[in-house]
Structure 1
Amino acid sequence: MPSDRTSAGDPARTLALLWGLTAEEKPGRRGPRQARSTAEIAMAAISLADAEGVDAVTMRRVAQEIGLSPMALYTYVPGKAELLDLMLDTVYATMPRSAPVDEGWRARAAAVADDNRALYRAHPWVASVSTSRPPLGPGLMAKYEYELRALEGAGLSDVDLDAALTHLLGFVQTCARMGADGRAAQQDSAMTDAQWWAANADLLARVFDAERYPVAARVGAAAGEVYGGAYSADHAYAFGLARVLDGFAALIGENSR
């Protein structure tokens, strides 16, 4: 289970932070102008997560990165939970928006999937964060509106529209997590999948009985020859996305746009 999740902080303070209603901007507030902005803080935290993973993001580390004391950082952001929401909402606001206007729901839905995949590739840590209670900031709302419009007008009820989008995005997130796991394995072992399997081929041959598992032997060999390993993130994504959209087509009907 993911150890990090959004909306884990104080709801009122989080929403105020995401929508720019921080204390220094409220009417009647007097005092020196703050040296940093929440946007700068978010970008520093995102850069740290991109480079070292979300576990590296602490209030102390972010303060160091941006040239503040930890206590000063708390005057901008209440805590780590609220900072994570700010990071996610900032990333969502900058996600690519490439869905075509007039090429039908299938092309638009595929573009939404590709856009989310690009987001996960740029920020791998995002795939590991639980968003069952999403950060309801302007970045998320703009992303949600864009994604819903990809399937708008295809004949789905509002509930089915939301469910279809949830299913599509869940598929992309799963692929992103598996792809990140594969890249981490290659980095940790300093071997590609093909090199790892070649290095362990003799051991596998001693313990694997092809006569006992004939289908596994045949299919595994065929897939391994094509993929250069046990798994191909690109093939899994392309194959799975086509099947997800085929399922939508059965629900929608291919004549809908």
Structure 2
Amino acid sequence: MIDDKAEDPDHGVELLWQEREQEPRRGLSLGRIVRAAIELADAEGLEGLSMRKVAERLGFTTMSLYRHVPGRDQLVDLMLDAVREEAHPSVGTEDGWRARLESCARSEWELRTRHPWMAEVRGSRHLPGPNGVASYERMLSAVTGSGLPPAQVIAAVNLVGRFVDAEAQTLVETARQERQSGVSEQEWWGARDTLYQRLDRYPTLTALWEAGGYDEPETPFEFGLARVLDGIAMLIARNRDETRDETCLMCGKPVKRPISGRPRLYCSRACQQRAYRKRLDR
């Protein structure tokens, strides 16, 4: 057993949130370990990341790394937080909830195109650091004030985050297969003539092909993000419709919707009586 701290989540929080000291000019430091680990994961994916390989990359022994970080899981958390420093400071500052949330989603997507291994991180118990929480805060603030109740603000942001991760999985799988085979995705599919010769028996697929549907395909991320945001916009509009006050049938003043029961037709008892007398006079 290297270090009991590797099993201590509270130590992981301290490691992520500690004030960073100035790095020494020489020797090993936590910052250098994290940067080397990111470079290694960028090149080989998360499956290629190990404490031993990081140590070799830095020219130190594996044991020397454990003086700075207790284990691989904690190192991955540090890596995730470090790459989020790359986010532009203006991300999520546009006008309107949709533009702000879209900007945040694109920033997260761009991070994953540069570091596909981010989408390989599995499990629900990876601790966030200050940069990760700041990113989440930007997304939450983008939707807050849109008209959604608090629980739906959180759900909408989590939905966008899961969409970005799901799309990034394609990048991960493509990169892994290209590393293993040495053949690019385009080259591999371009050589599948024996498959394409058998597809003319499927009329819908053939019709779409002949109509040019595959000539300029929609970009999956762009298409999917737009549809997710469309869905959130529809939810916001529906919530506004459901919470919009009605107007009094007698005087035209706003009438608040009751929490339960039948909707109110009049703003006051006086207007209700006036309406009653008016019906009697007819």
The superposition leaves residues 14-33 of structure 1 with CA deviations (integer Å, 9 ceiling, x where unpaired) of 112112279x9xxxxxxxxx
Superposed CA deviations along residues 179-210 of structure 1, whole A, max 9, x for unmatched, are: 343455566363553x54443224431x3352
Structure 2 segments unaligned to the other structure (5+ residues):
1-5, 241-282
Aligned to 1:169: 161
- What's the secondary structure of 1:156's corresponding residue? coil
Does the Cα contact within 8 Å between 2:92 and 2:104 map onto a contact in 1? no
Shift of 1:87: 1.1
Describe the shift of the 1:183–1:45 C-alpha distance in structure 2 as closer, same or farther (beyond 3 A): closer
Amino acid at match of 1:240: G
Residue 246 of structure 2 corresponds to: none
Aligned residues: 230
Matches of 1:117 and 1:254 in 2, distance apart?
Answer: 29
Pick closer, same or farther for the CA change 1:209–1:149 going to 2, 3 Å.
Answer: same
Q: Does 1:18 align with 2:16?
A: yes
The match for 2:93 is 101
Q: 1:254 to 1:122 in 2, by over 3 A?
A: farther
Q: Which amino acid aligns with 2:199?
A: F
Return the letter of the residue paired with 1:60: R
Contact 1:41–1:62 (8 Å) recurs in 2: yes
SS at 1:224 equivalent: coil
Given candidates 206, 214, 227, the residue that maps to 2:203 is 214
Provide the residue aligned with 1:226 in structure 2: 216
1:31: which partner in 2?
A: none
Residue 70, structure 1, aligned to residue 68, structure 2: no
SS in 1 for 2:216: helix
| 1:116 is the counterpart of 2:114 | no
Determine the structure 2 residue equivalent to 1:81.
Answer: 73
Cα pair 2:167 2:221 within 8 Å, conserved: yes
Unaligned runs of 5+ in 1: 1-7, 25-33
Distance 1:99 1:198 in 2: 38
Q: Kindly state the Cα deviation for residue 9 of structure 1 after the two structures are TM-superposed.
A: 4.2
Tell me the TM-score normalized by structure 1.
0.78
For residues 145-175 of structure 1, give each alpha carbon's deviation from its aligned partner in whole angstroms, at most 9, with x where no partner exists: 1221221211222211111011011111111
TM-score (norm 2): 0.71
- Asked if structure 2 preserves the Cα contact closer than 8 Å seen for 1:13 and 1:78, the reply is no
3-state SS of 2:215 partner: helix
Change (3 A) 1:197 1:53: closer
Structure 2: how far apart are the matches of 1:15 and 1:70?
A: 23
What is aligned with 1:190? 183
**Quick check: 1:154 aligned with 2:138?**
no
Q: Which amino acid aligns with 2:134?
A: A
The CA RMSD measured in Å over matched residues stands at 2.9
| 2:233 is aligned with 1:249 | yes
Give the superposition deviation at 1:216.
2.5
Which of the pair has the greater relative contact order for Cα pairs under 8 Å at 6+ separation? 1
Query: What is the distance in 1 between the residues matched to 2:204 and 2:92?
Result: 42
